[in-house]
Amino acid sequence: MKTYHVAIVGATGAVGTELLRLLEVREFPVASLRLLASERSAGRTLPFRGQSLVVERLDANAFENVDIAFFSAGASRSREFAPLAVRAGALVIDNSSAFRMDPAVPLVVPEINPEDICLHKGIIANPNCSTIIMLMALAPLRKLAPIHRVVVSTYQAASGAGAQAMAELIEQTGDVLREKPIVPRVFPYPIAFNLFCHNTKIDETGYNEEERKMIFESRKILHDPHLKVTATCVRVPVVRAHSESINVEFAPGTRPSLEEARKALETFPGVALVDNREANHFPMPIEASGRDEVLVGRLRYDLSNENAIDLFVSGDQILKGAALNAIQIAERWIKEGSKHA
């Protein structure tokens, strides 16, 4: 089996450490592994396959002889260093927002649009976590009938803001229970026992960046520029795994039956149907955390719209929402023969 020289940019962050774990547990064909991070993290060691690997400082010369570079260090780092990695001969799989809406860069969820991988010119973008989790539920339904409109509300965990945000939620929870004052550092407001509008910039339309990502990335991945999507994104006091309430409106007269929808979801790779009305058991972030699959359930007809179905989903933001999707892109690229456009 051919093996590959791999680099992880942002190796010490929440997604970077998950990438490292997944490379090991999925037995990715690694010939060598280079861990890259900021100067502040350089010198740390991380375990991989029984060894301790030293984290190196990210610089312009870090990608020599690298075949695949996973980037998860923010958009500014990606814009600066991804082109350098490509020029050095690496395939870049980028987890930031830097290239997602670039027409020349494929935006890929392997279960949904794997054919786009071969269109790359050195960079493949990993979609936003909330977009991935939503589309894993929509893609099988879209095979049953054309989707006309999507209304989604998200319940986004602290994990979406990184390891420090998760630690802040845990710390604040203890502070509240001990009746100590709360001093937010990562988030703009207290996250323990609270929820608030997603902490990204709001534009003149009133939508924040996370909501716009869900709208425009969905259209690009599904190759449907006219898909109607409206989103409301909210931070909630959950450590890990995002949840979403989704209303799916189909083209008039085409709404599938609930049984058809359940069967489509049950058989779709990467989805687990959790839809037990008798036990009132539906997707929960506590059960989605640590799982590769996106949990989908709470299927019911929209009583206010004869063309729509309601559902609820939960998915691990760090796994399928980020690191796992990136690894799956690389695995698919290898399977297709490492094709370059």
- Write out the catalytic residue numbers: 129, 242
Three-class DSSP category at 147:
strand
Rounded to the nearest angstrom, the gap between the alpha carbon of residue 142 and the centroid of all alpha carbons in its chain is 20
Distance (Å, rounded) from C-alpha 8 to C-alpha 30? 12
Which three-class secondary structure state does DSSP give residue 9?
Answer: strand
Residues in the chain: 341
Which residues, in sequence order, are CB contacts of 110 under 8 Å at separation 6+? Answer: 117, 325, 328, 329, 331, 332
Q: For residue 326, give the nearest of 136, 164, 91 by alpha carbon.
A: 91
At position 9, the amino acid (one-letter code) is V
In what side-by-side order are the strands of the sheet with 271-273?
Answer: 196-197, 228-235, 147-156, 242-250, 308-315, 294-301, 271-273
